[in-house]
Structure 1
Amino acid sequence: MIKELLTPPASHVYYSIFLWIENDCEAEIGKLGTYPFQRGVYVYIGSAKRNLMKRIERHVCLEKKKRWHMDYIRPYGTILKIITYDDSLTECELAGKFIAKGEIPVHKMGSSDCKCPSHFIYLGDPEIPLSEAYIDSFFQ
């Protein structure tokens, strides 16, 4: 669904990837174990202090060595939208905005290096394509 990736502004260091999983599935998430994932939209919050575009391109690519938790679930879904952010909120604060209105499918997924419960959040089954109003609702 991603038609093109635009180079984010140099001031952007965080990103959210909205992933659509069309069918219920089970996936092994590295050392975290194997978990069920239900149909719906998930958001993954990440950061790259340097080379943000390369990190995003890596997540878009399906054929790669698995390094990040996102690498394990990525083959099961379609990327709907990618948004980048400046540092006005931290990565953990961004994740918190989505956690407040979503569900955590796997504890510590994407957040093994911080105290957050997860940086991968289940958002349910919203209307697709995701509207700006829908995305903005997490920040109100």
Structure 2
Amino acid sequence: MTKKIILKGTYCIIIQLRDDTVIEVGKKGPINFKMGYYVYVGSALNSLETRLKRHLSNKKKLFWHVDYLLNSSSSEIKEIVFAVNENKWECMLASKISCHGTEIHGFGCSDCKCDSHLFRFDEIELSVKTCRDAFKTLELDPKMLDDLINKN
């Protein structure tokens, strides 16, 4: 009998917002989002695979701030960059990404002291490169969504 390996790690979801839109984000209330590409930084120390599958699913209870953004008819996940690691790197990763993107103040960081875990970019290429470079700066090995899908 083989034991299932549970991956832990930190991730960046790259979300395209096709239109300017106002989204009601739980207790935060309405937020004005400009069209563009958004990088959401998160971590999953229980099961990275389960968390990413949840984010990719269209049927879920709206719980985290990012759920409300992903629930918008204008949004679509374009890429996920992640690193498998036992430690929680999301705040350090968000700090690195904040130097290159426009932060959405107070988004996704209610359980830490960061200003934000969501950042807007004009171009998908820059958002992906920024995420990959941030992981590398922290000496983490960035993988792409296809790496996780092809593993199975």
Task: Say whether 1:90 aligns with 2:89.
Answer: yes
Query: If each structure's helix is expressed as a fraction of its own residues, which one has the higher value?
Result: 2
1:117 aligned residue (115, 118, 123): 115
- Superposition misfits of 4+ residues, deviation over 6 angstroms: none
Q: Which has the larger radius of gyration?
A: 2
In the alignment, the residues of structure 1 paired with residue 128 and residue 39 of structure 2 have an alpha-carbon distance, to the nearest angstrom, of 15
1:57 is aligned to 2:53: yes
Does residue 89 of structure 2 align to residue 81 of structure 1?
Answer: no
TM-score, normalised to structure 1's length? 0.80
User: What fraction of aligned residue pairs are identical, expressed as a percent?
Assistant: 35
Judge conservation of contact 2:16–2:77 (CA < 8 Å) in 1: yes
In structure 1, runs of 5+ residues without a counterpart are 1-8
Aligned in 2, Cα 1:50/1:35: closer, same or farther, shift over 3 Å? same
- Equivalent residue number for residue 4 of structure 1: none
Structure 2 length-normalised TM: 0.74
Q: Extract unaligned runs of 5+ from structure 2.
A: 138-152
Alignment coverage as a number of residue pairs: 129
The correspondence of residues 1-140 of structure 1 with structure 2, limited to 5 A, is 12-76=8-72, 77-85=75-83, 86=85, 90-105=89-104, 107-123=105-121, 125-127=122-124, 133=129, 135-138=131-134
Contact map agreement 1:14 1:87 (CA 8 A) in 2: no
